[in-house]
Amino acid sequence: MRRIALIVVSIFFTGIFCQAQRTLTLEEAIATALQNNYDIQLAKNDSLVAALDYRFRDAAFLPTLNGVANTTWNNNDQRQTLADGTKREQNNIRSHNTGATLSASWTLFDGLRMFATREKAGELVELGSLIIKDQVVNSVATVITTYYDIVRQKQQLRAVEEQITLNEERVRLAQYKLDIGTGAKPDLLQSKVDLNAQKALRLAQLTLIDQLKDRLLLAMNSNYGTFFEVSDSIPLNTEIVLGDMQADVENTSPALLLAQKNITIAELTLKERKSRSLAFAQF
C-alpha cells in the first residue's frame, strides 16, 4: 500500500514538473487568443447582424402591408327574472366573432431618407469588418506586449537572483572576517539586511511574473494555468523605418479607418434626420 502511494505521488510531481517545463511560444499564444477571444467573437456576431440587415436594404423602397386578424369566443349562462315573476334560464349560450383588416401604405417621398438608409446599411457592413480587424489588432498587440513583458521581467528576475548570489557571498565573507577578528559586526548585519532585501525583491518579482501570466491567459481566454514558460529573448527588427510606417497609415490603420467610417455613418444619420423636415415641407 505504501509502495502504491509512493508511485502515485511520484507520478503527480512528475506531471507538475512536466507542466512547469512547458514552453508557450508567442505564435501559439496569438493563435489561441484569435481563436478564443470573446471580444473578437462578439465583433464577428455584430458583423453578421449588419450583413443580414444589408440583405434587406431595399425594403425601404417597398410598400408596407399590415394585416390584423382577431377572433372572439364567448360561452355565457343567462338567468332573468321578469316583472311578472317569470324566470328564464339559459346555459351554454355561445357566440363566435371573427374579424380581419388589411392595410397597405407606400411612401412615395420621404425626403430622400430611404436612399440614406440604404447607403447606411452598406456602410455598417464595412464598419463591422473594420471592427473585427481593429479588435484582432488590439488583441494581438495585447498578447505580444504581455508576452514580452513576461520575458523582460524574467530577465529582471535572473538579475535579482544573481544579486542574491553575490549578497550571499558577501555575507559569507563578512562572517569569515568577523570570525578571524578582522571584520566588524555592523558589516555583517548590513550584508544580511541587503540579502534579505534582495530576497524580498525576488518574491515581489515572482508575484509580478505570475500576475503577467494571468493577464496573458486572460487575453488568450485560456486555462493553461501559470505552469508554463516563455522564451528567454526578445527579437528586434532593426530595419523598421518610421517613414515607411507613416506613408500609408491612413489607408492601413484599422483604428483610423474605423474612425473615418464612423464619421461617414454619422453623416448619413444626419441626412436621415434632415429628410424628415424636407418631407414635411412638401405638404
The model's pLDDT over 247-257, given as tens digits with 9 standing for 90+, comes to 777 777 888 88
Task: Tell me: pLDDT of 119 over 70.
Answer: yes
Secondary structure E strands in the chain: 64-81, 87-105
Q: Is 225 left (phi over 0), alpha (psi -120 to 50) or beta?
A: left
pLDDT tier at 204 (50, 70, 90 boundaries)? very high
Task: Tell me: pLDDT of 21 over 60.
Answer: no
The model's pLDDT over 28-37, given as tens digits with 9 standing for 90+, comes to 888 888 888 7
* pLDDT for res 167: 92
Least confident of 13-17, 109-113, 257-261, 262-266: 13-17
For the chain, domains (ranges, CATH) are 2-280 (1.20.1600.10)
* pLDDT for res 14: 47
pTM for the whole structure: 0.66
Mean of pLDDT values over 219-242: 79
Q: Give the three-class secondary structure for 263.
A: helix
The model's pLDDT over 73-105, given as tens digits with 9 standing for 90+, comes to 887 777 777 777 777 777 777 777 888 887 777
